[in-house]
Amino acid sequence: MSKLPDYHELPKYPRTPLKSLFTAATPDALDLLNKMLDYDPLKRPTSLEVLQHNYFAALPRPSHPSRLPKPAKQDEDKGIKRKFNDSLESSDRKVARKLF
């Protein structure tokens, strides 16, 4: 590959430690992330190996979906209306206001 006419060697930069990017991550999370971001696909863990990693067994456990915060119905409706109104021409906005 290096003997091809348009080959250019890319500069090598030092690796940024993940701990400095993800300051709140646990050691297990950083270990898993390091393994999953390995360039060599033969060294990256399989899906099953990822699921068996200590990160998924460590405390605190993830929150049950029913305990996660949900947006208020009123806020969802406002967001939909706002997106719809932003996509309209100014003359069509008057009609849209009457519809909503």
Peptide bond into 5 cis (omega under 30): no
How far apart are alpha carbons 92 and 71 in whole angstroms?
Answer: 29
Quote the tokens at residue 92.
């069509």
In a domain, 26, yes or no: yes
Q: What is the pLDDT of residue 69?
A: 86
In a domain, 42, yes or no: yes
**The overall pTM is greater than 0.85:** no
Domain interval for residue 26: 17-60
Q: Which position has the token pair 């696909």?
A: 41
Tell me: do 47 and 77 sit in the same domain.
no
Calculate mean pLDDT across residues 22-34. Answer: 93
In a domain, 7, yes or no: no
In a domain, 11, yes or no: no
Count structural domains, the chain.
Answer: 2
> Whats the size of the chain, residue-wise?
100
**pLDDT tens digits along 42-98:** 999 999 999 999 998 988 877 888 888 887 776 555 555 566 556 655 555 555 454
Tell me: do 51 and 28 sit in the same domain.
yes
Quote the tokens at residue 53.
């990693």
CB 25 within 8 A of CB 19: yes
Q: What is the pLDDT of residue 65?
A: 84
Calculate mean pLDDT across residues 5-19. Answer: 92
